[in-house]
Structure formats: C-alpha cells, structure tokens
Amino acid sequence: MGQILGENVKSFVANALHWISAAVFVSTLSLGLYMTSLEFMHPWYNSAPDFHKSTGIAVFFLVAIRSVWRFFFIEPAPIPGGDWKRSVDPILHRGFYFLFFGITFCGYLIPTADGRGVEFFGLFEVPALFSYKEPQEEIAGTLHLSLVFLTLCLALLHTRINIRRCASKFKSLFKLSS
Amino acid sequence: MKRLSLLAAFVMAVVIMLPGALRAEEYVIDTKKSHAFIEFKISHLGFSWILGRFNTFEGEFTFNEEDPAKSKVSVTIDTASVDTNLAERDKHLRSDEFLDVKKYPKANFKSTSIKLTGEDTAVIKGDFTLRGVTREIELNAKHIGAGKDPWGGFRRGFEGVTTFALHDYDMTYNLGPASKEIEIFISFEGLKKK
Ligand code: HEM
C-alpha cells in the first residue's frame, strides 16, 4: 500500500493533518472556555456550544485520519541527537492520540447523557450511544476539562521539544521561496 | 421492690405514649415505588414553561386525625437529582450559578405550623433550606385521600404548591425578567408505618 504514494505526498498529507488538527484543536479549546463564560442573554449562548461540538467532532475525525495515515504510510521522523527529547517525544505523540480521543469522547458524553444525539454542522447527527443520565454529564464534564488541561501542558512540552527543528524548517521554506 | 417500680415505670410510659401514638399516625413518603413527585416550573423568556423535577428525595409525616393542624411533615431533597430533560441544562443547574450541589447537596423542608383553611385544605408553614439559605415558605396544601391499598397497607396522599423568588435563595443568575420566580408542586403518598 505504501508504494502507491510518493514520499512527498505522504509527508505533505501527514503535515497538513498535523497542523489543521492543531489549529482546530486550539480553536475548539478557546471556544469551549469562551462559551461557558457567556451569559444566558448573549446572542451566542445557544449557537456557540453547537459550534464547539461540531469543531470538536472535527478534531476527532482529523486525528482519526492522521492515526490511520501514520499506521499505513508515514511515522514522524525521530528527533536528531540523542538526549531526553528523543526518547520523550515519541511517547508524547502516542499519548496525544489517546488524549484527543479521550477529550472528544468525554465531550460527546456530556450532551448525549439524556439520549439526544449531537449534530455535526447540521450535516448529520452522531447518535447517543451511552445515556446513563444524572452522573454521566458531570463525570464526563470534569474529565473533559481535566484532559484538556493535561493535553495543553503536554502540547507545550511537545512545542518546546520541536521548536528548533520546526523553526529551521520554516526558515528553509522561506529561503526556497525567496 | 425494684422490679415493681420498673414495671410501674414501664406501664406509665405506655399509658403516656399510647394516646399520642394512636392519634398521630406516622407515615413514610413512598419514594421507593415513586408515588411522590417534586416538580417545578419556571418561565422560559415569558414564552413558555420549563418543567423539571427532583428525582431523589425522602420524607415522612405524621397525621393527626383528631386535630390535623398538629400534623408534621419533613422532606429532604438530593439537589443533584434535578432533571429538566436536558443533560446540559441540568449540568448548568447543578453548578454554582444555581444549586451549587457540590457545596449544598441537600435541600430540606420542615413544617413549623399548619393552619386549616377548609375541609381538606391547609396552609403549611415551614422552613425551607436551599443552597444553605433557610427561609420560611408557605405551601398551599390539599388532602387528596386516604385508605387501605389492595396490598395490605394504608396510604394517605397530599399535594401542595408554593412560589418563591430565586433571588431569595441567592440564585442571582440572569434568566430574564420573566423568570425571577419558581413554582414548586409537590404531590406525595405516605405509607403508614407498621
Ligand atoms: C479536542 C476537542 C475539544 C476541546 C479542546 C474541548 C474543550 C473544551 C473546553 C475547554 C470546555 C470548557 C470546559 C468547562 O468550562 O467546563 C469545553 C466544554 C464543553 N465541551 Fe468541549 N472540547 C472538545 C470537544 C468537544 C466535543 C467533541 C464535544 C461534544 C460533542 C464537546 C462538548 C462540550 C460541552 C457540552 C461543553 C460544556 C460543558 C459545560 O457546560 O460545563 N467538546 N470543551
């Protein structure tokens, strides 16, 4: 299967998925914090959470596609050098998949606790599969936020580890284009 | 001699307690088989009603046949059991902007006086504690019926309505001008203690 696509295509798609997921993740996170601070009378009180759920589900799909891509086509290149970063980063990568699935799954468990499905940008509805009522939305809500914070901390570490490599890539990009 | 005085004390205790025990029947509110409901109603923007209920609570009452005004009732509600048929709304209601159930897991009503207003109606005054605030409220109550059930027990049922401002219990979240008051409707059946 790996032979069908050229190396360039494989890494371009993997990179695109990485950066789109990261952008949608950060937007969803900011929207999550913003919407829970909105007052009842605010014009976005109802629409913001609907949008949050949709972009959150989008994160789920993006990460799912990237994990499939990684499995069949290309794994992130290891960090050059041999210090702690080289051993920690691959663990972080794998951890992020679990965390993203955990966050989106817990988010999904909040509104579906009463048996209602969640809409994805009004295109289709994800049905409610687990509806254990009263404690579900509370436990899921607490986990949802805790996992978000954990992910945020690890993402900062991940950035710290990769910033130099990333920056030099950017520089070479600019050099090529100018 | 010692035995005799013990016996005398026992007989006296029975004599003193018996009439009271006969007159004031004790009941436990039948939440086990859910013949009891605590429902509430609050306006949504002045356009319609949001109905909700508390699913978990317990209570008991005494009923004094000869002098119903001497009856007593007490109910304790698990605030986390609030249910408006929308998980996200219930989560919001449990938060510190409304019921703050982590800090105040129980709400409690205890009657202090009963004034009969008709053959089967009364105003029940009592202390209602919600969110750590205790205030006197008045329930307009009605005795619905009583009698033997088909399964060997004796039952007695009431209903009651009261209204209060959310503000009274420090719930100041702005739901709009039409939604400042909440109405509570309680209906329960007591199963006579054996
Ligand atoms: C990676 C994706 C996601 C991120 C980063 C994220 C982040 C957040 C954050 C930071 C909050 C505020 C938490 C709070 O204040 O308690 C929040 C709340 C919420 N999220 Fe997400 N979320 C994501 C995905 C989802 C998904 C997929 C759903 C549902 C399908 C969802 C449903 C909710 C709901 C219903 C709330 C409101 C909880 C409340 O009212 O307390 N989220 N989210």
User: What pLDDT digit, counting tens, does each position of B12-55 carry?
Assistant: 665 555 555 556 899 999 999 999 999 999 999 999 999 999 99
**Residue B145 and residue B72: Cα distance in Å, rounded?**
17
Give the CA dihedral A133, A135, A141, A143, nearest 10 degrees. -130
Out of A41, A114, A141, whose CB is closest to B174?
A41
Whether A85 maps to a domain, the answer reads yes
State pLDDT tens for residues B63-116: 999 999 999 999 999 999 999 999 999 999 999 999 999 999 999 999 999 999
Enter the pTM of the model: 0.88
The token pair at A97 is 């998949």
* Site residues for ligand 1, CB cut-off 6 Å: A 25, 28-29, 32-33, 36, 49, 52-53, 56-57, 59, 100, 103-104, 107-108, 110-111, 118, 141, 144-145, 148; B 88, 91
Looking at this predicted complex, what is its ipTM? Answer: 0.86
The reported pLDDT for the residue numbered A78 is: 79
Domain count for chain A: 1
**pLDDT band, very low/low/confident/very high, at A176 (cuts 50, 70, 90):** low
In a domain, A2, yes or no: no
Transcribe B98-139 into DSSP letters: TT-TTT--EEEEEEEEEEE-SSSEEEEEEEEEETTEEEEEEE
Does a structural domain hold residue A1? no
How many degrees, rounded to 5, is the angle at CA A82 between CA A78 and CA A87?
Answer: 60
* CATH class of the structural domain B24-192: mainly beta
Given a cut of 70, whether residue A158 has pLDDT beyond it is yes
CATH for A133: 1.20.950
Percentage of chain B beyond pLDDT 90 is 87
Can you tell me the distance from the alpha carbon of A49 to that of B63, in angstroms, rounded to the nearest whole number? 50
Q: Is A11 domain-assigned?
A: yes
- How many interface pairs between A and B have CB atoms less than 8 angstroms apart? 36
User: If you count them, how many residues does chain A have?
Assistant: 178
| Residue A173's pLDDT band (cuts 50, 70, 90) | confident
Domain that holds residue A151: 7-177
